[in-house]
Structure 1
Amino acid sequence: MELLKNGHGETGERTVWWSVFILLAIGTGYMFASGENTKVIMGIFTLILMGAIAFAQRRLKLSLPSFFVNIVYGFIFISVGLGTFGGFYDIPHFDDFLHLASGIMLAVGSWIILQKMLGEQLTARLPNAFIGLYIICFSLASAAVWELMEFAGDKLLNFTIQGRNPDDTMIDMIDGLVGGTVTAFIILRQRQRK
């Protein structure tokens, strides 16, 4: 946590952001040159998302710790850079891995947000049942929002993210729920030890 207080965390965050942003911009350019218009649109949306995250980190009072934001940037690179541009989605269960990892990441993020919003003293007084339910619901709701965005992309922009199989949507949400639930139990266990 000392890294976050002395400014090195912010410098590292910028380095990771620029590294991922440049790699994704190069990938988007390559997809454009290859005539992969759908992947170009996904790349542009991802670059806009990264810009929005960086803006929120600088401007909002509830900015997230640099270590966590770096994990988010790494996840974005793996999912878009390797998955979409690199063809990793053809690897069996790569998508399951990503949705499970996103459930874990969202659960940790929801815990960080709750602590920042309420402060340490008030968070310490919350019952474990509430915290567990909050983390699980946050993870599942976030997975649902992601699936809604995939659905919108398929319907409005002619993407083929979800395909024609509704099982993919449900399995993705289950993966996110499992990741969020396991993480909620780990967070509650650590909380009880303290």
Structure 2
Amino acid sequence: MKERFKSFKIILVICTVMTLYFLVKGLVVLPDSEKVLFKGIQLALGLFLMIIPIVIERKMKVSLPRMLVIFYCIFIIGSVFLGTGFGFYGKIAYWDKLLHFISAGLLVLFGVSFYLSLLNKAVISTVEMKLCYFFGTFFAISGGVFWEFYEFIFDGLLDLNMQRFASKGVDLIGREALMDTMGDLFIDVLGAIAMLVYLLITTQKNKSLLNELRIRRIK
């Protein structure tokens, strides 16, 4: 198990250094120290999220699919450490959309892995395989929809602008107010379909790859 995450330690060290940098900088008396400290706290949370796969494997005595862990780490790094830490959300156009695309693929993989774990069978029929893929796909799309519900609710409760319904403090009108939300949903669907197509093609050529997506118990 340790060998599986050996190469990942370097990334954890880098993320830890970034987190400490923002936390320490935020504690210094600066004009924007409170914002920097809050950013450091967000990165600390991201650091905790990064080690969740390791904790799950060790505590639950399971082996998570390598592809699932890779996509999970890419998403956390992209959203928390690059998006929040380096401000990629504001500096790079469509960074948010790219993360929606990645998260959709991640949710498909999680859905497929979960479904395969429920089957608990060494040999999977063609029908079961197709049901598995479509379960993963619609699981991902549903996840995207519920995320938009989350953004809508907390935009109202905390006066945020996660759904980009306003620009420079002025509420947008008509279709312009819907563009961010609908764009996110479209990207979620595209990301889910892209992962579905990839899985269909790769496992059609080599059906043994399907077992690599299974969450396995370690004895």
TM-score by length of 1: 0.74
**Structure 2 residues not aligned, in runs of 5+:** 27-32, 166-176, 208-219
Whole-Å separation in 1 of the counterparts to 2:82 and 2:157: 24
Q: Cα gap change, 1:132/1:70 in structure 2, threshold over 3 Å: closer, same or farther?
A: closer
Deviation at 1:191, TM superposition (A): 4.2
Q: What is aligned with 1:144?
A: 145
Equivalent in 26, 29, 38 of residue 20 of structure 2: 29
Q: Which residue of 2 aligns with 1:183?
A: 195
CA shift, 1:132, in A, is: 3.7
User: Conserved in 1, the CA contact under 8 Å of 2:53 and 2:64?
Assistant: no
Q: Equivalent residue for 2:113? A: 112
1:1-194 to 2 correspondences below 5 Å: 10-16=2-8, 18-32=9-23, 33-34=25-26, 35=33, 36=35, 37-89=37-89, 90-121=91-122, 123-127=124-128, 129-148=130-149, 150=151, 161-164=162-165, 167-193=179-205, 194=207
- State how far apart, in whole Å, the 1-side matches of 2:14 and 2:155 are: 25
**In structure 1, distance between residues paired with 2:156 and 2:47:** 22
Residue 131 (structure 1) shift: 2.9
Query: Secondary structure of 1:123's match?
Result: coil
Aligned length, in residue pairs: 185
Shift of the 162–23 alpha-carbon distance from structure 1 to 2, 3 Å rule, reads farther
Residue identity matched to 2:118: M
Structure 2 length normalisation: TM-score?
0.67
Q: Report which of the two has the higher share of helix.
A: 1
Q: Is the 1:100–1:176 contact (alpha carbons within 8 Å) kept by the matching residues of 2?
A: yes
Q: Which AA in structure 2 matches 1:130?
A: L
* Deviation of 1:145 (Å): 4.3
In structure 1, stretches of 5+ residues that fail to align are: 1-6
| Structure 1 segments of 4+ aligned residues over 6 angstroms from their partners | 155-159
Give identity over the alignment, percent.
25
CA–CA separation in structure 1 for the residues paired with 2:154 and 2:67: 30
The alignment's C-alpha RMSD in Å is: 3.1
Structure exhibiting the larger radius of gyration computed from Cα positions: 2
Q: For the residues of structure 2 that align with 1:38 and 1:159, how far apart are their CA atoms?
A: 16
